[in-house]
Structure 1
Amino acid sequence: MNSKILNSIQKIATTFVDNQFDTSLETVSIDSRSLQNGSQTLFFALVGSHTNAHVYVNDLIKNGVRNFVVNHIPEGCEKKANFYLVADTLIALQEFAAQYRALFDFPIIGVTGSNGKTIVKEWLNFLLSPDYNVIRSPKSYNSQVGVPLSVIAINEQHNLGIFEAGISTNSEMSRLEKIIQPTIGLLTNVGSAHDEGFLNLEEKRKEKMLLFKNSEVVIYQIKQNDVSVILSKQNAFTWSFEKNQASVFIEKIKSNDKTELKVYYGNVYFDLLIPFQEEASIENAISCLMVLLYFKYDPITIQNRMQLLYPVEMRLKVKNGINNCNIIDDSYSSDFQSLKIALDFLESQKQSDNKTVILSDIFQSGLYKEELYSKVADLIVSNNITRVIGIGETISEFKDKFANCITYKNSADFIADYDNLDFNNETILIKGARSFEFEAIVSLLEEKTHETVLEINLNAISYNLNFFKAKLQPNVKIMVMVKAFGYGNGGFEIAKLLEHHKVDYLGVAFADEGIALKSMGIQMPIMVLNPENTSFSAIIQHQLEPEIYSFKGLRAFLKMAAQKELKEFPIHIKIDTGMHRLGFEANTIDELITTLKGNATVKVKSILSHLATSDDFSQKDFTQSQIDLFEKLSSKLMSELKIKPIRHILNTSGISNFSNSQYDMVRLGIGIYGVSNDPEEQKKLENVGTLKSIISQIRIVSEGESVGYGRKYRAQKSTKIATIPIGYADGISRAWGNEVGFVTIKNKKATIVGSICMDMLMVDCTDIDCKEGDSVIIFGQNPSVNFMAQQLNTIPYEILTSISQRVKRIFYRE
């Protein structure tokens, strides 16, 4: 039992309702969906803008949880568990974490800034872990919820902490400071990222510096003409590229993909190499160097360790695997906290009940080996893992703790035995420390496709979903459209995430899309918007719910429903209020009522209509006339048929522009994929899809020479041309070529020259320091799909849905 958890919860202002259940506590949870919840879990029922975990308390009790922090005891849960009653469960979680943190006395590095927090944290962990037992934030857990969850993972064996803190507006940092209580402060680059919550850069900087108000030292960069918060010399340890009053002066010389740093610190001078040239990476590396200097590391140790710094992969990626497998790639870290996160992600993205975990030795847990692997085994059991493949000498020692487990001493032994292993129709989590080089294992198991990929940010989908949820009135349901292969982003993986978020409905265009989702295990209701009469039998078989928009369709479905002796099969009635595309018109409502009245084979689950101009304020009156007609006709249907169906008319633009007409449900479409017609709203959404490729070849084209079919482009001077393996067969419009569009290489625009080919396009990269194999962004942040649509005189929907399914989708979570 972790007595510190009990000790900490007892110290915050709660009213304890003791129902005589065991108060032995091992873990803290806020996620009702986690399979790791159990009898020794303390569950905080958090309340968000559109979520309330109190509604899941009864289900958690059924699953064995017996200790809850709540703002009220949910109805029907009285005397079934112990309850700590508080006014605000989020504040209680933060106060609890602060009490827990106060039980430990060792150095804590607090990291904040606009950019580089997670990279600096991971690099510091790499640089300091040979000498310290480090506890750090898992992934990028730096929010008002993530920070307390990170701190609660401290145990008695740790002797150094590294926690990052992120904020989005004023008044947030003081809460995080009380939780982290950093003894050493580290401020990374403060820039324009996440500016929306602040008046200006200086206000943001001042708020971030509140993290360090009780720190013994604060490390940060001094820049010329930089308006920054000036600290007293007693607690500032500064660096600069300019000769001034900074504690450490640094010169940089770039060469051969590396950077030489010349370090002047008091009377000490030394140089070192780091394997990066990007400015952001150089600054992040220097932040780490400053910590090593503060810890009084000698120059030789600093040189030896910093030359080994590596690119940090902060994402859990979902990839298609061989033999109908799907892979969750987390092959760059192996610690206990991130394993728990990865297992939860595995459950949310599994495509099969067969789940395999390929796991390396686990480092820096702060636990003795016997205890650590016992806890890992418990996690494996609670997450219903089918098979464990352990790689490493330590995990091999504890093989007997796992059921159905095979182990190898190292990755090479696994690869040598690969042909004897059967991977088929399963979800595989690959999780290993960098030293095990699990990239080779991922390569073996990954389905081989070409090097153009569409990366889908699942965090951004979650964020955008919650952004629109926050606009809804209480109890309004939400349907999310995943038709057309999730607007080109991918169907099943997004549907699985939405099911994890407990949205109320999914919407697809045709029956085969819904059948595919049901066949892959999606359980939630799915509405088919454009069902063909020939698909009705399959719709019934797979428990899909058809939209009915015509008498021909209605009579055909009623006939089949009668033949199959159905009872109250759910259907959705569409009314045409002005779109004039599909739906029952006003003059047919009486006949519709007559046809449906008394028919027990079907149940009108919802009544809906579709807005034609919800994004165009110049036609606001027309939209309002649609809503008024919908109100009139749907009310008549409800009254005459004596039914209370779900009513819905708002699409993405309607949610934002006609909030008084949310009815019982809204339909969220392209907004969840990060696209809005409103420029101000667009700034608040997160980009979901980034289409990437690589440079296949670079050549120099002399003045007067041409590029591509038809010789549409002729060089005006000696020009460096890069060829990118993506073309119109992948969904890139030919109209985007011939110097209309561009791609991004090394954060610089590279204009597309000549005609776009079926499988390739060419760009001018004369002014870009790039090489073959470098990454290329086709669209994402820059250019955005909105910008491309404007330039091509089309809409973002067409850009997204045009991306061919031969382009590999990689789903990831930060």
Structure 2
Amino acid sequence: MKISIQNSISNLNAQFIGDCSDYTIDSISIDSRSLQNSATSLFFALVGPNNDAHHYIEDLIRQGVRYFVVNHIPENCLGKANFLVVKDTLIALQQLAISYRSQYNFPIIGITGSNGKTIVKEWLNFLLSPDFNIIRSPKSYNSQIGVPLSILGINSQHNLGIFEAGISTVAEMEKLQDIIRPTIGILTNIGSAHDEGFASIGEKIKEKLRLFSNCNTLIYNKNKTIDAFLNSRLNTFSWSFNDKEADVFIQKISGIENTQFQVKYKLNSFDFTIPFQDNASIENAIHCVMVLLYFNYDPLIIESRIRLLYPVEMRLKLKNGINGTTLIDDSYSSDFQSLKIALDFLESQKHHKKKTVILSDIFQSGLSNEELYSKVSQLIIANKINRVIGIGKTISEFKHKFVNCSTYATTHEFIEQFDSDNLRNETILIKGARSFHFEEIVTAFEEKTHETVLEVNLNAISNNLSFYKSKLKPETKMMVMVKAFSYGNGGVEIAKLLEHHCVDYLGVAFADEGIALKNAGIQLPIMVLNPETTSFEAIIQYQLEPEIYSLKGLNAFLKLAEQKNLRHFPIHIKLDTGMHRLGFESNTIEELIAALKGNQHVIVKSILSHMATSDAVEHLDFSLHQIKLFEILSQQLMVELDIQPIRHILNTSGISNFTHGQYDMVRLGIGLYGISNDQEEQKQLENVSTLKSVISQIRTISEGESVGYGRRFVAKCSTDVATIPIGYADGISRLWGNEVGYVSINKQKAAIIGSICMDMLMVNVTGINCVEGDPVIIFGDSPTVIEIAQKTHTIPYEILTSISQRVKRIFYRE
């Protein structure tokens, strides 16, 4: 990509303020944290509901960035860089993409719908790549920001584009249509996703169809609902299982592990087979077949390629590896745009100072190999990668462009020859094109555990964090609680993400939790909420910050601070305003002041209290009393000690219910992990944790036969029973057994029957289409943690924090 600043000024109707407008940039950036920002980047300072990138411009200037698109020039930045000043930076980004798209005149496939967009895009890339040089949306870049960034990846060597367009409400698709300007359209399945953004299903369909307003042809599954909203002038290419008036009529013939189809098109017919049986994969595959037919592919080629379709992994997964390593699994794609995304993820989630990238040949870059691997080398250097392992004939030829690089011709050769002991205490990005089968590398290097896993959605954590940030005043700081292994989800990984999002403080319960985070490289200040006096030595050694809640604890810490000749070591004073758990009460304030007055060994970094009923409307008066008492006692401390510490009293529910009590900082806890006590607020949060297992065995029992200890389930008729390898030792309460609870198998509820065992539970799968090895959802979207808590008479906190450490955590980003 080469974009002239001079042309950009004109295209964006921008006011240029700087000393050099005669310049060409080669990359667009919107992330101030990316190590890929450079003097040749054009940085768009986007403004969202919870963040304003203008705040980071001064730091970016220090890093060498020289060109910015801004709404305004921040204070202290004038004269230090070049600025294109516009009314709205997001609109400017979209306008730049529109202008850039107009330079190219090759077929563009635009895909929209509720489900299947990314899979259809990836499958089409696989099917068409032998014949086209394809540019496509990296990952799921289908939003108002993602689409323009995708379009700006086009270069002169591309001759086919495949781009997704995703919307969540009205008046969005028109903007994406202007940017993508597809010549061929695909409408995938219309489902319930984002229903809340539309008044009706009709409004949703009309909005999605706007993407195709200037298409040459729309490919879709013919049905009366869609037909009712189609523009009569739009040329369509339809398919159907039922309607013989469709352009392509398809008959399905199910197999044991695959699905066969007979296609009737024009006067011809042919068969094809896909290696899937589920309805979603079938529909997605047929959309791909339709594109091949549209491009006049021979049926024999269609049949030979379509049978090779594969499951698409749309997520970057973070896994524990052998020898203390951390693996980032991106083993199904290798293109230049997604490499940049994966390297940013690596930086945000690096658990070790040492970083290694295992990389296959990169395909469809639209660049010569010389230029491509020069750019890849620049990315590797910018991201401070310590070692590169290249796999493939082409990357091997350009080994000289990388420092500390070893190469192998094939994945098999690498696995056979590489000594895995050479991987130790490092973060490893594994990124390879599908044909290289890098999943074999992941399998070889992944820490071996049993098949039950807790998947943690890092996108959902980011979304929930942003939701609560949006409730705060701009100046209010945020502490995020990562105690109890981040409420059972995983301490270090989530702390890394929070540090990437620049929260102000982390909170842990005990010193050892904080020490683990510090040892993992976390630089954020960490407050220890329940420090024991025996841990004060370690707290000082690891630069943690203790909460002090009693005179005994204060005196012990002051004595140690004096012995070590500390100066202004940060401490946090806890006040008891009604919780009656920990903290200084009103009658001890004078002694507290006397102990601290004039003491130079410590500094009161913050004063805090904890609300007992912030989520309970019936106790509103008590909550208001707590806030009022906190104001009185904290003011007394501040005046008497002549200090201006951070003050904080609000927890998650308090953030939503007591805006006037924000003070200088709030403490976000369970809300980050997708749980709210308010039903309306719950709708705004995303599910973070999904506990998964598999079916170990299926058997059929007869009437009168029983299941499990104590014969608590006795079959009344022939019953299919599946055994799942998860039990109360993994954190599943026995109260959830005996048909109180259920699991989800292939989107159907399977009741838990009999008593839950230590390592297993049994479910009734009568009438459910499933086989041994099928995945099982223990909790996630259904059942939810909240539902389990209600039925077992506890709280979501207990459900989450009870998940055993023997359950492997897998962290992923969409």
TM tier relative to shorter chain: over 0.9
Going from structure 1 to structure 2, the CA distance change for 1:645 and 1:802 (only over 3 Å counts) comes to same
C-alpha distance in structure 2 between counterparts of 1:393 and 1:9, whole Å: 43
Paired position in structure 1 for 2:638: 638
Going from structure 1 to structure 2, the CA distance change for 1:534 and 1:359 (only over 3 Å counts) comes to same
Please state how far the C-alpha of 1:225 moved relative to its aligned partner.
5.7
SS of aligned partner of 2:25: coil
Is the 8 Å Cα contact of residues 71 and 89 (structure 1) preserved in structure 2?
Answer: yes
Paired position in structure 2 for 1:247: 247
Q: Deviations over 1:569-605 (max 9, x none)?
A: 1111111111111111122223222222222221111
- What is the number of equivalent residue pairs in this alignment? 814
Is the 8 Å Cα contact of residues 202 and 227 (structure 1) preserved in structure 2?
Answer: no
Paired position in structure 2 for 1:452: 452
Please state how far the C-alpha of 1:224 moved relative to its aligned partner.
4.9
1:413 equivalent to 2:420? Answer: no
C-alpha distance in structure 1 between counterparts of 2:420 and 2:454, whole Å: 33
Please state how far the C-alpha of 1:241 moved relative to its aligned partner.
2.3
SS of aligned partner of 1:518: helix
1:208 equivalent to 2:208? Answer: yes
Going from structure 1 to structure 2, the CA distance change for 1:710 and 1:227 (only over 3 Å counts) comes to farther
Paired position in structure 2 for 1:290: 290
**1:273-422 matched pairs, under 5 angstroms:** 273-419=273-419, 422=422
C-alpha distance in structure 2 between counterparts of 1:4 and 1:689, whole Å: 45
Q: Deviations over 1:167-214 (max 9, x none)?
A: 111111121111111112211111111222222221111111121222
Paired position in structure 2 for 1:180: 180
1:697 maps to a residue whose letter is Q
**1:153-192 matched pairs, under 5 angstroms:** 153-192=153-192
C-alpha distance in structure 1 between counterparts of 2:433 and 2:603, whole Å: 54
Paired position in structure 1 for 2:782: 782
Of 418-427 and 63-72, deviating more is: 418-427
1:804 maps to a residue whose letter is S
Paired position in structure 1 for 2:98: 98
C-alpha distance in structure 2 between counterparts of 1:644 and 1:88, whole Å: 38
C-alpha distance in structure 1 between counterparts of 2:10 and 2:721, whole Å: 67
SS of aligned partner of 2:693: strand
Paired position in structure 1 for 2:618: 618
Is the 8 Å Cα contact of residues 44 and 68 (structure 1) preserved in structure 2?
Answer: yes
Please state how far the C-alpha of 1:5 moved relative to its aligned partner.
6.9
Going from structure 1 to structure 2, the CA distance change for 1:104 and 1:14 (only over 3 Å counts) comes to same
C-alpha distance in structure 1 between counterparts of 2:746 and 2:428, whole Å: 33
C-alpha distance in structure 2 between counterparts of 1:607 and 1:715, whole Å: 60
Going from structure 1 to structure 2, the CA distance change for 1:278 and 1:81 (only over 3 Å counts) comes to same
Please state how far the C-alpha of 1:228 moved relative to its aligned partner.
4.7
Paired position in structure 1 for 2:123: 123
SS of aligned partner of 2:197: coil
Is the 8 Å Cα contact of residues 33 and 500 (structure 1) preserved in structure 2?
Answer: yes
Of 484-493 and 293-302, deviating more is: 293-302
Paired position in structure 2 for 1:723: 723
Is the 8 Å Cα contact of residues 202 and 228 (structure 1) preserved in structure 2?
Answer: no
Please state how far the C-alpha of 1:421 moved relative to its aligned partner.
5.8
1:487 maps to a residue whose letter is Y
C-alpha distance in structure 2 between counterparts of 1:121 and 1:225, whole Å: 24
Please state how far the C-alpha of 1:249 moved relative to its aligned partner.
2.5
Paired position in structure 2 for 1:757: 757
C-alpha distance in structure 1 between counterparts of 2:128 and 2:74, whole Å: 46
Of 168-177 and 21-30, deviating more is: 21-30
Is the 8 Å Cα contact of residues 205 and 228 (structure 1) preserved in structure 2?
Answer: no
2:93 maps to a residue whose letter is L
Is the 8 Å Cα contact of residues 452 and 726 (structure 1) preserved in structure 2?
Answer: yes
1:757 maps to a residue whose letter is C
C-alpha distance in structure 2 between counterparts of 1:301 and 1:420, whole Å: 41
Is the 8 Å Cα contact of residues 106 and 160 (structure 1) preserved in structure 2?
Answer: yes
1:769 equivalent to 2:736? Answer: no
Is the 8 Å Cα contact of residues 360 and 432 (structure 2) preserved in structure 1?
Answer: yes
Going from structure 1 to structure 2, the CA distance change for 1:806 and 1:5 (only over 3 Å counts) comes to farther
Is the 8 Å Cα contact of residues 15 and 84 (structure 2) preserved in structure 1?
Answer: yes
Going from structure 1 to structure 2, the CA distance change for 1:5 and 1:326 (only over 3 Å counts) comes to farther
Going from structure 1 to structure 2, the CA distance change for 1:537 and 1:6 (only over 3 Å counts) comes to farther
Of 452-461 and 653-662, deviating more is: 653-662
C-alpha distance in structure 2 between counterparts of 1:55 and 1:254, whole Å: 57
C-alpha distance in structure 2 between counterparts of 1:41 and 1:544, whole Å: 38
RMSD of Structure 2 on Structure 1 (CA) = 1.5
1:430 equivalent to 2:439? Answer: no
Is the 8 Å Cα contact of residues 456 and 489 (structure 2) preserved in structure 1?
Answer: yes
Is the 8 Å Cα contact of residues 723 and 760 (structure 1) preserved in structure 2?
Answer: yes
Going from structure 1 to structure 2, the CA distance change for 1:253 and 1:420 (only over 3 Å counts) comes to closer
Of 631-640 and 665-674, deviating more is: 631-640
C-alpha distance in structure 1 between counterparts of 2:21 and 2:107, whole Å: 37
Paired position in structure 2 for 1:552: 552
2:74 maps to a residue whose letter is P
Paired position in structure 2 for 1:588: 588
C-alpha distance in structure 2 between counterparts of 1:609 and 1:241, whole Å: 64
Q: Point out where structure 1 has 5 or more consecutive residues left out of the alignment.
A: none
Going from structure 1 to structure 2, the CA distance change for 1:149 and 1:3 (only over 3 Å counts) comes to closer
C-alpha distance in structure 2 between counterparts of 1:812 and 1:377, whole Å: 26
SS of aligned partner of 1:704: coil
**1:219-230 matched pairs, under 5 angstroms:** 219-224=219-224, 228-230=228-230
Going from structure 1 to structure 2, the CA distance change for 1:168 and 1:129 (only over 3 Å counts) comes to same
Paired position in structure 2 for 1:267: 267
Paired position in structure 1 for 2:235: 235
Is the 8 Å Cα contact of residues 609 and 630 (structure 2) preserved in structure 1?
Answer: yes
Please state how far the C-alpha of 1:636 moved relative to its aligned partner.
2.1
SS of aligned partner of 2:721: strand
C-alpha distance in structure 2 between counterparts of 1:300 and 1:580, whole Å: 76
Please state how far the C-alpha of 1:267 moved relative to its aligned partner.
2.6
TM-score, structure 1 as length reference: 0.98
1:473 equivalent to 2:462? Answer: no
Q: Deviations over 1:240-290 (max 9, x none)?
A: 222254332222222212222222333332221111111111111122222
Is the 8 Å Cα contact of residues 6 and 22 (structure 2) preserved in structure 1?
Answer: no
Of 227-236 and 797-806, deviating more is: 227-236
1:659 maps to a residue whose letter is T
SS of aligned partner of 1:196: helix
**1:726-741 matched pairs, under 5 angstroms:** 726-741=726-741
SS of aligned partner of 1:684: coil
SS of aligned partner of 2:699: strand
Please state how far the C-alpha of 1:372 moved relative to its aligned partner.
0.4
C-alpha distance in structure 2 between counterparts of 1:398 and 1:387, whole Å: 15
Please state how far the C-alpha of 1:21 moved relative to its aligned partner.
7.9
